[in-house]
Amino acid sequence: MKKGQKSGAVMPGKKYIWVLASLMLLGLFGFIGNVSSLLPFRDFPGQIVAACLEAVITAIITVFLLKAQTNEQTESELKRERFAVLFAKKSQAYDAFLNDLVAIANRGSITKEEFLKIVDDLNFRLVMYISDESNSAIADQLNMIGTNHDEKTIKSCVFNIAQELKKDLQAAI
């Protein structure tokens, strides 16, 4: 015998107490039904079969409902993950585009090569993330930068482009 272990009858674990209590109640119910005329004992087997069938039907319905709920939650989680990945990529593309524009705005001038690169970035990198409305608004601002090379116009247009990208990101949320 190990140290700390008591001798005598083996006590069941706490998780099996409900099984013993159920068996004792079933025995008491059977005894009362057999001894008294309060319970119609002749109908007892039919009632047990009916109760078992009800329990099985309830369990089957519960399984179907839980599976449907799990599928719905899984689809919702997948949508959230896709949205998070798309939002991160969209944010990176917008950030890179704005960094190039801010560098141009801080300098106060733009070269033809820089302008063409910015237009290409809009048409080939951002077009897959940006809405058509935002795309045309940004294109209009870039056209203003392309025609007016003064520092005030460039800074104003870069600000307007940043606001349009911000609006596009907020629309996705």
Arithmetic mean of pLDDT over the chain: 83
- What is the per-residue pLDDT across 27-42, written as a single tens digit (0 to 9) for each? 887 776 666 666 566 6
Buried b / exposed e along 157-170 (16+ C-beta atoms within 10 A): bbeebbebbeebbe
For helices 44-107 and 151-172, what crossing angle results, to 10°?
180
Query: How large is the greatest C-alpha to C-alpha distance in the chain, in angstroms?
Result: 106
Q: Per the structure block, which two tokens stand in for 138?
A: 């940004």
Give the pLDDT of residue 161.
Answer: 93
The Cα 160–Cα 156 span in angstroms is 6
CB contact set of 137 (below 8 Å; sequence gap of 6+): 160, 164
Going along the chain from its start, the domains and CATH numbers come out as 80-172 (1.20.1270)
CB contact set of 12 (below 8 Å; sequence gap of 6+): 19, 20
- What is the per-residue pLDDT across 114-171, written as a single tens digit (0 to 9) for each? 999 999 998 898 988 888 898 999 999 999 988 887 889 999 999 999 999 999 888 8
- What is the per-residue pLDDT across 75-126, written as a single tens digit (0 to 9) for each? 889 899 999 998 999 999 999 999 999 999 899 888 889 999 999 998 898 9
